[in-house]
Chains A and B, each alone.
Chain A
Amino acid sequence: MTVADPRPRTLAPFGRRRAVVREVERLGAYVRLRVDDGEGPADPRPGQFYMLAAAERWGAGADERPFLPRALSFARVTGGPALDFVLEAVGPGTERLAELRPGEGLWLTGPLGAGFPPPERGRPLLAGGGIGVAPLLCWQDELGPQAVALLGFRSAAHAEAARLFAGAVEVATDDGSAGHRGSVTDLLAAELDRDGEATVYACGPPAMLEAVRALCADRGVPCWLALEAGMACGYGACFGCVVPTRDGYVRLCVDGPVLDGALLEEVA
């Protein structure tokens, strides 16, 4: 990593701690959990993540899973602090998290990893795909409502998550059931055509991140990508979450999850 790392990092209390689910909201295909994290820091940085596990019945689900905690970017932090997470039930871990009810317990470790650095050039443009829109919520809050969030979803049911954004939003869906019919990279290309002086921040599935990386590389626009990988620990212990970069394999949990797009040959 660079000598002067511009990416901010709030340290985590050592060890996992018990938090309590306060609110559960269905958002189309997604679920928003609000979690009281009284023992955690009030200032996690946008792009940082937490490891989550239900305090009860974590295990004994389908195929006797889940076993390992799940890594989720926080979407917002409010007084208390209370943390918002947005998730989609796609496997035994997220299914168990999605069925939590207010008052139930949750194990939390975090905040972990490095967050988004401030814009180095031009206006900030945020690009999110699917569940990857989550860390862009608090980042837009911080940058200001004029920081446009370009959001791509499969369908209108998923595009419900766009309602969570407080500032300017443009939506694209694969099936055209909401907003522009097409991809979020279409929206990003149009914005960069309009004004190429920008710093891009993106989070989403690998194919989308690769399209954003290639587009920004092509236009000479700096971009910061929040990547995802299966993790066991979240704090550099297991070496399981590596991605290939121009500097070799890096652990997303401690060297990311936000990486300089220029560091990546390709998002696979």
Chain B
Amino acid sequence: MIDFCGIRLAGPVLNGSGTFDAIAAERAFGDALWEAFPFDAYVTKTITLEPRAGNPPPRLWETPAGMINSIGLPNKGLERFLAEDLSRLAPLPVPLVVSVMGHGPGELARLVGAVAEREEVAALELNVSCPNVESGLIIGSDPAETARAVAAVRPLTGKPLIVKLTPNATDPPAVAAAAEEAGADAVSLVNTLKGMALHPRTREPWLGGRTGGVSGPAIRAIALAQVHAVAQRVGIAVVGMGGIQTGAHARDFLDAGATVVAVGTESFRDPAAGRRIRAELAALTEADGGFAQARPHPGREEPRPMWGTGKKPANTRKTVKQPQRT
């Protein structure tokens, strides 16, 4: 068992938000999905206050060792998610994490308030890769904006709050530190990197949303560096992701400081990828002496438990200012 922000997980492999739709997967695979559920916690696609149709197609482009998506967060909105989807997720054999996105602290507070009070929900993830409608800034690209968003929802729930960090920021560790200061229990990273493809003939942007997010093994080295930098900076749990395809890749992220890992694009290639990666990781770590054994962390002076059961000592290099309260 792994302790992730106080939630007990049977293993360290989650899904990245928006990369696995358990309700749709049940339509394709039936009960076999629940019997062999590939993740140790399930993170939903991002929910917004109002329904969203998403971006016009085309929404996908294949890149060398990866892809670009321009999906645009289609979802049925908070009300229908609570009324329809939560009950359909009842057969889920693992803890449920609900991802929410709001255009500013007010919207986020309404979402978090309504979702957190449902007993089916174990934790919430804040998708901050969107603009604040008031300031125009991408919330997650700015430490102060991120801190304001977290501070606005922190008093509303005692459940773990995970902040999903965008790699499209000047200083992701500073954003992570601001989230920690404002009371986040964990950070997850990386979200997709901004990318573009041109139509082979018209030479206009191919994707309906013009730009999209690059994911897959093409971004793994970038993700690993960001996870490493963030884990050095914060003491809270870190969910590491970005192009993980094998147990060895997952171990890289854990050894770079992640508490748990998430699988995203690889699930598109194999719906059961999470299960395979978990088994490969278990075989690797067993050879090292097991999951729970404390191992020295590269760049850290002292060993710490792999699964975030303890906070690491306060980081003296922290330079983040106390966030402004609104």
- Chain A proximity mask over B22-47: 1 for CB below 8 Å, otherwise 0: 01110111101101101000000100
Please tell me if the beta carbons of B30 and A237 are within 8 angstroms of each other in the complex.
Answer: no
Return B52 CB to nearest CB of chain A, in Å: 10
Please tell me if the beta carbons of A254 and B270 are within 8 angstroms of each other in the complex.
Answer: no
Please tell me if the beta carbons of A254 and B272 are within 8 angstroms of each other in the complex.
Answer: no
Among B25, B53, B216, B275, the most chain A Cβ lie within 10 Å of the Cβ of B25
**B interface, how many residues as a size bin?**
35 or more
Please tell me if the beta carbons of B28 and A238 are within 8 angstroms of each other in the complex.
Answer: no
Among A16, A107, A233, A244, the most chain B Cβ lie within 10 Å of the Cβ of A233
On chain A, the residues within 8 Å of B63 by CB distance are 65, 67
A240 vs B61: C-alpha distance when bound (angstroms): 9
A181 vs B275: C-alpha distance when bound (angstroms): 53
Any A CB within 8 A of the CB of B271 = yes
Any B CB within 8 A of the CB of A229 = yes
From B15, which residue of chain A is reached at the shortest CB distance? A237
Any A CB within 8 A of the CB of B59 = yes
On chain B, the residues within 8 Å of A237 by CB distance are 19-21, 24-25, 267-268, 271
Among B24, B60, B267, B271, the most chain A Cβ lie within 10 Å of the Cβ of B271
**A interface, how many residues as a size bin?**
35 or more
Return B103 CB to nearest CB of chain A, in Å: 20
On chain B, the residues within 8 Å of A232 by CB distance are 60, 67, 69, 265, 268
A240 vs B267: C-alpha distance when bound (angstroms): 14
Please tell me if the beta carbons of A68 and B32 are within 8 angstroms of each other in the complex.
Answer: no
Main secondary structure, interface of A, reads loop
Tell me whether A66 and B27 are in contact in the complex, defined as CB-CB below 8 angstroms, given that A239-B71, A249-B74 are known contacts. Answer: no
From A107, which residue of chain B is reached at the shortest CB distance? B270
Please tell me if the beta carbons of A15 and B21 are within 8 angstroms of each other in the complex.
Answer: no
Please tell me if the beta carbons of A11 and B32 are within 8 angstroms of each other in the complex.
Answer: yes
Any A CB within 8 A of the CB of B66 = yes
Any A CB within 8 A of the CB of B269 = yes
A14 vs B265: C-alpha distance when bound (angstroms): 17
On chain B, the residues within 8 Å of A233 by CB distance are 267-269, 271
Say which residue of A64, A239, A243, A248 sits within 8 Å of B64 (CB atoms): A64
- Residues of B58-92 at the interface with A, using a CB-CB cut-off of 8 Å, are 58-60, 62-67, 69, 71, 74
Tell me whether A243 and B57 are in contact in the complex, defined as CB-CB below 8 angstroms, given that A11-B32, A107-B270, A232-B268 are known contacts. Answer: yes
Tell me whether A235 and B60 are in contact in the complex, defined as CB-CB below 8 angstroms, given that A59-B65, A242-B54, A254-B24 are known contacts. Answer: no
Tell me whether A67 and B62 are in contact in the complex, defined as CB-CB below 8 angstroms, given that A12-B29, A237-B25, A239-B54 are known contacts. Answer: yes
- Residues of A105-146 at the interface with B, using a CB-CB cut-off of 8 Å, are 107, 109, 112-113
Please tell me if the beta carbons of B57 and A13 are within 8 angstroms of each other in the complex.
Answer: no
Please tell me if the beta carbons of B59 and A66 are within 8 angstroms of each other in the complex.
Answer: no
A40 vs B18: C-alpha distance when bound (angstroms): 28
Please tell me if the beta carbons of A66 and B60 are within 8 angstroms of each other in the complex.
Answer: no
A231 vs B269: C-alpha distance when bound (angstroms): 10
Tell me whether A14 and B272 are in contact in the complex, defined as CB-CB below 8 angstroms, given that A240-B71, A248-B53 are known contacts. Answer: yes
- Residues of A212-234 at the interface with B, using a CB-CB cut-off of 8 Å, are 229-234
Q: Which 9 A-B pairs have the closest CB atoms?
A: A236-B24, A15-B272, A64-B64, A240-B60, A233-B268, A14-B32, A235-B28, A232-B268, A11-B30
Interface residue ranges, A against B (CB under 8 Å): 9, 11-16, 53, 59, 63-69, 107, 109, 112-113, 229-244, 248-249, 251, 253-254
Interface residue ranges, B against A (CB under 8 Å): 18-21, 23-25, 27-30, 32-33, 35-36, 38, 45, 53-54, 56-60, 62-67, 69, 71, 74, 216, 265, 267-272, 275
